[in-house]
Amino acid sequence: MSKKRKIRVDFKKNRQKRTRAGDLTSRFHSQGASGVDSTSSERVRAKGDLSRRRTILSDVDENAAAGSRVDPASLLSIDLSECVPGRVVRVHGLESIVETDDGRSLRCGVRRLLKTIAIDGRGVVAVGDRVWVKPAGPGSDQGQIENVETRKGVVTRGYRRREHIIVSNVDQLLIVCSFVEPDLKPALIDRYLISAERGNVRPIIVINKADLVDVSSYQWVIGLYSQLGYETITTSTADGRGVDRVKGVLARGVTALSGQSGVGKSSLLNAIEPGLKLKVREVSGWTSKGKHTTTFAELIKLESGGRVVDTPGLRQFELWGVDPGELEGLFVEFRPFIPLCRFPDCSHTHETACAVKDAVSLGLIHIGRYESYLKLYFRRPEESD
């Protein structure tokens, strides 16, 4: 049996008000009563957690265990008879395009309550989300997203100390990088691999612009990741190298393409399916960095089979929510050696009798991968490449 119950939920962080500069309580503790002049006309209101929460009315189970923690997002009252299920295919500013299961395409805003409930993310919805939408009316192309279903297969990053979900509900992540223009960065590939591992997404590494270099000089990189069990493909949109292989990979399910600006994600999709006619731009000659061509993520259905999410190029890719203590398990080649360390809480950074460090010295773990581990282990949250 359920009944209505009032519960307190947090405001979204960017909706909180800043603490007043002239705080009487702080002045009292620092100066004592003599340092604070009482002013009868000043209004005193709740501060801190008391003023940063709101009350909502939700259905709760009377038989639920007393004192158990309730997730406010799971208690949203939704009349499913007025809603239709669908998938977010594009997010552009405050507007989301939702493809409903009955074949409609609706331009949707987001229910205000979803925005104000405590969410540590950059946005409420992401491309790929399964959602419930309430249409504005018969024949209208407008609607409102009432609820977001639990996500699976998530690719996420840290952005300005908040979580940015790049895409959700995908099967694979195509990590697109280039040999040159911009230069190949194995450390960036390592971060993508960790994000894919945590998000339960299968990673595939694609190294583009093979026509601009002598690939044999980079064979150690290709061999390194292939030996670790990651599918690695070299491509060139100029001579068609590897394009058919990538086309076969994309036909497997829902795939997200992510990587730096300028590595050729849109060019690769155009080579696979010319009818897409995605915009492409040259790499900046001044900074040697890519220019943003794709400005928003979009879920695209391919004629050759499968669906792909073309995401905007990223200038930086920071891991989100990865504790230094769990990094060891996210480097696949570390796993056989971890139980052999002398100390059960070994960090593999300075301890004696560390099996991981011994494996590095014997060449069983590549020194570059170990250096990536150290850089991530000691990285401060505000640091970026």
Residue with tokens 């008879």: 81
327 pLDDT above the threshold of 90: yes
* Residue 127 near residue 167, CB atoms below 8 Å: yes
Q: Which domain holds residue 244?
A: 157-310
Whether this model's pTM surpasses 0.85: no
Residue 174 counted as domain residue? yes
Please tell me whether residues 333 and 288 are part of one structural domain. Answer: no
Instruction: Assign 88 a pLDDT band (cuts: 50, 70, 90).
Output: very high
Please tell me whether residues 100 and 144 are part of one structural domain. Answer: yes
pLDDT for position 297 = 82
Q: What is the pLDDT of residues 104-126, one digit of tens each?
A: 999 999 887 776 664 555 668 89
Give how many domains the chain has, as a whole number. 4
Query: What average pLDDT does range 30-59 have in this prediction?
Result: 52
Query: What average pLDDT does range 242-264 have in this prediction?
Result: 92
46 pLDDT above the threshold of 90: no
pLDDT for position 71 = 43
- Give the CATH number, domain containing residue 371: 1.10.40.50
66 pLDDT above the threshold of 50: no
Please tell me whether residues 68 and 86 are part of one structural domain. Answer: no
pLDDT for position 55 = 61
228 pLDDT above the threshold of 50: yes
Please tell me whether residues 166 and 190 are part of one structural domain. Answer: yes
Q: What is the pLDDT of residues 161-191, one digit of tens each?
A: 788 888 999 999 999 999 999 999 999 999 9
Residue 315 counted as domain residue? no
Residue 210 counted as domain residue? yes
pLDDT for position 117 = 60
- 209-218, 271-280, 350-359: which range is least confident on average? 271-280
64 pLDDT above the threshold of 50: no
Residue 385 counted as domain residue? no
pLDDT for position 54 = 59
Name the domain boundary from 50, 72, 94.
72
20 pLDDT above the threshold of 70: no
Residue with tokens 């020194």: 367
User: Between the ranges 38-42, 62-66, 296-300, 353-357, where is the mean pLDDT highest?
Assistant: 353-357
Query: What average pLDDT does range 365-383 have in this prediction?
Result: 86
Query: What average pLDDT does range 197-201 have in this prediction?
Result: 93
- Give the CATH number, domain containing residue 194: 3.40.50.300
- Give the CATH number, domain containing residue 121: 2.40.50.140
Percent of the chain with pLDDT over 90: 50
Q: In 3D, which of 233, 226, 188, 227 has the Cα closest to residue 208?
A: 233
Please tell me whether residues 117 and 162 are part of one structural domain. Answer: no
Instruction: Assign 298 a pLDDT band (cuts: 50, 70, 90).
Output: confident
Q: What is the pLDDT of residues 258-282, one digit of tens each?
A: 988 889 898 999 999 988 877 665 5
Residue 142 counted as domain residue? yes
Query: What average pLDDT does range 121-134 have in this prediction?
Result: 85
